[in-house]
Structure 1
Amino acid sequence: MKKLLLVFLVLILAVAALAFYVRGEWRVVGNPAEGGIVEIPHGLGARAIVGLLEDKKVIPNRYTALAYIFYSGTRNRLQAGEYLFDHPMTIPEVIGKLASGAVYLHKFTVPEGLTAKDIAQKWQEQGFGSAEDFLNAANAAVEVVRRFDDKAQSVEGYLFPETYSFPRRTTARQAVDTMIARFQQMIGRLRQIQPEDKWPLNLHDAIILASLVESEAAQADERPLIASVYLNRLNRHILLQCDPTVIYALEQGNRYRADLQFNSPYNTYVKPGLPPGPISNPGYPSLLAAVQPTSSNYLFFVRTVESRHTFSETLAAHNRAVDAYRKLQKSAGKKAG
């Protein structure tokens, strides 16, 4: 009986010593992963995952890590993906990261004023996938846009520009849907600032106007003024004569005099009113300018120095502004020569 009791006591002490050792190991930190990133592939079990982490030296001991997984009940919660291990972490910290799915997110930056084709190129340049895949996804997502704008012809204008954070292997369609959802959030913000029944145009036309403002304005304070010019011309049935609409129609970066007669619904030198759809994807300031423009009598503007514009109420005043700018350019050219 005494021997049995002694054996039982030894077992208890051994288990306690093992537990003490394991808990001590849980407090030991590993090393940063080489390159900072470790990818956990889909389909790996807990044993394979801790083996991979040990090979990468993120954890010091796979067996104590496995013990922690069973102790914490996270065996079936470890998630695949890319994880950032750029500083030493303990085993509980590492396993907690995997169990919470705190995957590393890659930045996808979309500047204001890009077209869908431009964004597709950015998608490819930033290593997310091919431009073709992005455009195919964008074309397929037009039905999503039509749920809130039944006049939409494409997703052009509805891919909200900002910096997004996507996990690796995010599909082009997931990115497009995220950008459209973000656009809807921005429209909701606009409605809080200015009720939609007080907008000068309906939603569809407001987005078109915002895209024109985005294409013309380089200075934030001029956006509401530029919006007012186009609205004034619309109200007076004057051709908008917006150069970027011609460029959009021609899909080129330069405009020539002959192009002004180019037969396209986007050629606002020929076709009255707004073009049938947005010509770019405007940012929030341009959207705000379209629904809350400055009240003015301006009908013309011309770009001058430092990407600013001179605004005019009459054609005579506009022509004088154009002449003044040309003289300034000519003078600058002589000085440069």
Structure 2
Amino acid sequence: MSLTLLGAATALWGMKELETFANRPLMLEQARELELNRGTNARALGKELVEQGLLEGSWHYDWYLRLNPAMAGIRQGLYEITPGDTVKSLLEKLISGKVKDFAITLVEGQTLREWQAKLETAPRLNWDADVFHKVLKANGDDSGLPEGKFFPDTYSYPANQDVETLLTQSYLKMQQELAAAWQVRAPDLPLASAYELLILASIIEKETGKAEERPLIAAVFINRLRKGMRLQTDPTVIYGMGTRFNGNITRKDLREDTPFNTYRIQGLPPTPIAAPGREALMAAAQPAQSDYLYFVSRNDGSHVFSRTLAEHNRAVNQFQRKQK
């Protein structure tokens, strides 16, 4: 064999060897994080992979980079390496900047205080204690009243993102959903503004988790508002109690004068009492056509609706006082 043919054969063998190396799975049994800081280059990454026991030390890695210079353009960030990843697929991931995403679900029917407890402990999310007020101010809302103005949903974020970015998405989403509900509201609702619709929707959200009941719950409250009746809804009392609430409401609590006690005040409370979802917003905007004025829990998540106080009292005796 001539030297030329020998050299060509050796080069071909080397190329196949490098291709085999590049497509061989890393030595990894479970997913793990890989963080690339600013300034980390592809050669330094190779050494780190060896140090972490993911890659055997050899000449293959450096030569693969020499023959594939485009593979050296890795980007900083937090990535996830999974079983089955190869040198080639990992470098492609790092070149594309497909960083690891985290997700957090902000649940409907919860307060900002409850959300804060979750956000503070969310992985790789930079917390700011004043974030709710900052988001309001940044979007032209100087009310200082953030409760209910953030939309409950699941939000994704990259590692080390500021919580303000995430909550800005939530705030803008709520403004969009609220505007849409207000736009299609039923005529002659006793609500002066979209903000009042938001307040009502938050009460509906707290009163029932059953989708089919929301329009009926809304109808009860709308009918009571029209008649000048007090709303007399327990979730507003609980919200007004704040951290004092221990799971029970007493007669004393129902008589307490707070801005949120709808057994004492006329009309709606001054702010929302939780974060309503889209269905609660639409129920407040388009309540059922009904003359119900009362409802009481069956203690199974559903409610009995009544038109008169006598009917309501019978339902209360049956389901709350357990009287026949």
Residue equivalent to 1:208? 199
CA distance in 1, matches of 2:225, 2:177: 25
Residue equivalent to 2:219? 228
Residue equivalent to 1:321? 315
CA distance in 2, matches of 1:181, 1:96: 34
CA distance in 2, matches of 1:283, 1:216: 13
Structure 2: which 5+ runs fail to align? none
Native 8 Å contact 1:224 1:293 kept in 2: yes
3-state SS of paired residue (1:307): coil
3-state SS of paired residue (2:145): coil
1:106 to partner: Cα distance: 2.6
1:94 to partner: Cα distance: 0.5
Native 8 Å contact 2:136 2:142 kept in 1: no
Shift in CA distance, 78/326, structure 1 to aligned 2, threshold 3 Å: closer
Residue equivalent to 1:166? 157
Q: Which amino acid aligns with 1:318?
A: H
Q: Is the counterpart of residue 195 in structure 1 residue 189 in structure 2?
A: no
CA distance in 2, matches of 1:304, 1:54: 63
Q: Which amino acid aligns with 1:80?
A: G
Q: Is the counterpart of residue 248 in structure 1 residue 239 in structure 2?
A: yes
Deviates more, 1:304-313 or 1:70-79: 70-79
1:260 to partner: Cα distance: 2.8
1:281 to partner: Cα distance: 0.8
Q: Is the counterpart of residue 78 in structure 1 residue 75 in structure 2?
A: yes
Question: Of the candidates 24, 33, 40, which is equivalent to residue 37 of structure 1?
Answer: 33
Shift in CA distance, 152/204, structure 1 to aligned 2, threshold 3 Å: farther
Alignment of 1:91-170 (within 5 A): 91-127=87-123, 133-144=127-138, 147=140, 153-170=144-161
Q: Which amino acid aligns with 2:86?
A: T
Alignment of 1:274-285 (within 5 A): 274-285=268-279
Over residues 12-34 of structure 1, what are the superposed CA-to-partner deviations in whole Å (9 max), with x where a residue is unaligned? 66655544433332222222265
Q: Which amino acid aligns with 2:111?
A: T
Shift in CA distance, 113/29, structure 1 to aligned 2, threshold 3 Å: same
1:212 to partner: Cα distance: 0.1
Residue equivalent to 1:295? 289
Question: Of the candidates 1, 17, 21, which is equivalent to residue 17 of structure 2?
Answer: 21
TM-score by length of 1: 0.80
1:306 to partner: Cα distance: 0.9
Q: Which amino acid aligns with 2:312?
A: H
Q: Is the counterpart of residue 258 in structure 1 residue 249 in structure 2?
A: no
Q: Is the counterpart of residue 308 in structure 1 residue 305 in structure 2?
A: no
TM-score by length of 2: 0.83
Over residues 241-291 of structure 1, what are the superposed CA-to-partner deviations in whole Å (9 max), with x where a residue is unaligned? 222112111103332222234333222222222112111011222122112
1:217 to partner: Cα distance: 0.7
Q: Which amino acid aligns with 2:77?
A: A
Shift in CA distance, 153/245, structure 1 to aligned 2, threshold 3 Å: farther
1:120 to partner: Cα distance: 0.8
Native 8 Å contact 2:211 2:279 kept in 1: yes
Native 8 Å contact 2:296 2:312 kept in 1: yes
Structure 1: which 5+ runs fail to align? 1-5, 332-337
Shift in CA distance, 240/63, structure 1 to aligned 2, threshold 3 Å: farther
Shift in CA distance, 127/318, structure 1 to aligned 2, threshold 3 Å: same
Shift in CA distance, 85/188, structure 1 to aligned 2, threshold 3 Å: farther
Larger helix percent: 1
* RMSD of Structure 2 on Structure 1 (CA): 3.1
Deviates more, 1:212-221 or 1:65-74: 65-74
Over residues 95-122 of structure 1, what are the superposed CA-to-partner deviations in whole Å (9 max), with x where a residue is unaligned? 1111222222233222221100101112
Kindly, what percent of the aligned residue pairs are identical? 30
Native 8 Å contact 1:240 1:274 kept in 2: yes
Residue equivalent to 2:168? 177
3-state SS of paired residue (1:173): helix
CA distance in 2, matches of 1:68, 1:190: 57
1:198 to partner: Cα distance: 5.5
Shift in CA distance, 97/129, structure 1 to aligned 2, threshold 3 Å: closer
